[in-house]
Amino acid sequence: MAASAKPPTASLSWNKLLPSSPFATALVSFPRRRNRSAKTVFVVAVSSGAKPTVLVAEKLGEAGISLLKEFANVDCSYNLTQEELCTKISLCDALIVRSGTKVTRDVFEASSGRLKVVGRAGVGIDNVDLAAATEHGCLVVNAPTANTIAAAEHGIALLAAMARNISQASESVKAGSVVKAFCPSAKVKFVSDLVYSFARKWQRSKYVGVSLVGKTLAVMGFGKVGSEVARRAKGLGMHVIAHDPYAPADRARAIGVELVSFDEALATADFISLHMPLTASTSKVLNDETFAKMKKGVRIVNVARGGVIDEEALVKALDAGIVAQAALDVFTVEPPPTDSKLVSDERVTVTPHLGASTMEAQEGVAIEIAEAVVGALRGELAATAVNAPMVPAEVLAELKPFVELAEKLGRLAVQLIAGGSGVKSVKVTYASARAPDDLDTRLLRAMITKGLIEPISSVFVNLVNADFTAKQRGLRISEERILLDGSPESPLEFIQVQIANVESKFASAISESGEVKVEGKVKDGVPHLTKVGSFEVDVSLEGSLILCRQVDQPGMIGKVGSVLGEENVNVSFMSVGRIAPRKQAVMAIGVDEPPSKDALKRIGEIPAVEEFVYLKL
Scanning residues 118 to 177, which ones bind ligand NAI (CB under 6 A)? 122-124, 144, 147-148, 151
220 binds, among ligand HPV, ligand NAI, none (CB under 5 to 8 A by kind): ligand NAI
CB of 121 to ligand HPV, least distance (A): 6
- The Cα–Cα gap between 597 and 600 comes to 5
Choosing from 122, 155, 379, 561, the residue that interacts with ligand HPV (CB under 6 A) is 122
Could you give the 3-state DSSP secondary structure of residue 346? coil
281 scored as a contact of ligand NAI (CB under 6 A): yes
The contact pattern for ligand NAI, residues 241-280, with x = CB under 6 A and - = no contact, is: --xxxxx---------------------------xxxx--
Under a CB-based contact definition with an 8 Å cutoff, are residues 510 and 501 in contact? Answer: no
Contact window for ligand HPV (CB under 6 A) among 5-13, 198-206, 308-316, 355-363:
355-363
Which residue blocks in 474-615 are alpha helix, DSSP H? 556-566, 597-605
Q: Which amino acid would we find at residue 253? A: R
45 scored as a contact of ligand NAI (CB under 6 A): no
**DSSP annotation of 128:** B
CB of 334 to ligand HPV, least distance (A): 9
Report CA 147 to chain centroid distance, whole Å: 19
226 binds, among ligand HPV, ligand NAI, none (CB under 5 to 8 A by kind): ligand NAI
21 scored as a contact of ligand NAI (CB under 6 A): no
359 scored as a contact of ligand NAI (CB under 6 A): no
CB of 384 to ligand HPV, least distance (A): 12
282 scored as a contact of ligand HPV (CB under 6 A): no
Residues ≥6 apart with Cβ < 8 Å to 448: 406, 407, 409, 410, 426, 428, 477, 495, 497
For residue 485, count CB atoms less than 10 angstroms from its CB and return exposed for 0-12, middle for 13-18, buried for 19 or more: exposed
- The Cα–Cα gap between 141 and 126 comes to 13
Choosing from 51, 136, 305, 602, the residue that interacts with ligand NAI (CB under 6 A) is 305
Q: Which amino acid would we find at residue 94? A: A
121 binds, among ligand NAI, ligand HPV, none (CB under 5 to 8 A by kind): ligand HPV
98 binds, among ligand HPV, ligand NAI, none (CB under 5 to 8 A by kind): ligand HPV
Under a CB-based contact definition with an 8 Å cutoff, are residues 450 and 473 in contact? Answer: no
Nearer to ligand HPV, 149 or 443 (CB): 149
Nearer to ligand NAI, 137 or 221 (CB): 221
In angstroms, the Cα distances linking 93 to 24, 90, 127, 139, 300 are 11, 8, 19, 11, 41
100 scored as a contact of ligand NAI (CB under 6 A): no
In angstroms, the Cα distances linking 316 to 204, 310, 313, 487 are 28, 10, 5, 65
246 binds, among ligand HPV, ligand NAI, none (CB under 5 to 8 A by kind): ligand NAI
Under a CB-based contact definition with an 8 Å cutoff, are residues 303 and 272 in contact? Answer: no
Q: Mapped to the 3 state alphabet, what secondary structure does 224-287 carry?
A: HHHHHHHHHHHHCCCEEEEECCCCCHHHHHHHCCEECCHHHHHHHCCEEEECCCCCCCCCCCEC
Helix 224-235, helix 148-163: angle, nearest 10: 50
In angstroms, the Cα distances linking 404 to 63, 387, 499 are 36, 22, 19
556 scored as a contact of ligand NAI (CB under 6 A): no
Residue 593 has a CB neighbour count (10 Å cut-off) of: 14
The contact pattern for ligand NAI, residues 199-238, with x = CB under 6 A and - = no contact, is: ---------------------xxxxxxx------------
408 scored as a contact of ligand NAI (CB under 6 A): no
The contact pattern for ligand HPV, residues 136-155, with x = CB under 6 A and - = no contact, is: -----------x--------
Smallest Cα–Cα separation from 356: which of 342, 369, 371? 369
244 binds, among ligand NAI, ligand HPV, none (CB under 5 to 8 A by kind): ligand NAI
CB of 150 to ligand NAI, least distance (A): 7
276 binds, among ligand NAI, ligand HPV, none (CB under 5 to 8 A by kind): ligand NAI
CB of 355 to ligand NAI, least distance (A): 2
Choosing from 88, 120, 239, 353, the residue that interacts with ligand NAI (CB under 6 A) is 353
**Which residues are designated catalytic?**
305, 334, 353
Which residue blocks in 379-533 are alpha helix, DSSP H? 393-415, 442-453, 466-472
Q: What share of the chain is helix, strand, coil (3-state, %, to 5)?
A: 35, 25, 40
Report CA 303 to chain centroid distance, whole Å: 24
User: What number of chain residues touch ligand NAI (CB under 6 A)?
Assistant: 33
Smallest Cα–Cα separation from 349: which of 157, 200, 206, 213? 157
290 binds, among ligand HPV, ligand NAI, none (CB under 5 to 8 A by kind): none
Scanning residues 57 to 116, which ones bind ligand HPV (CB under 6 A)? 98-100
Q: Which residues form the interface with ligand NAI (CB under 6 A)? A: 122-124, 144, 147-148, 151, 220-226, 243-247, 275-278, 281-282, 303-305, 329-330, 353, 355-356
Q: Which residues form the interface with ligand HPV (CB under 6 A)? A: 98-100, 121-124, 147, 353, 355-357
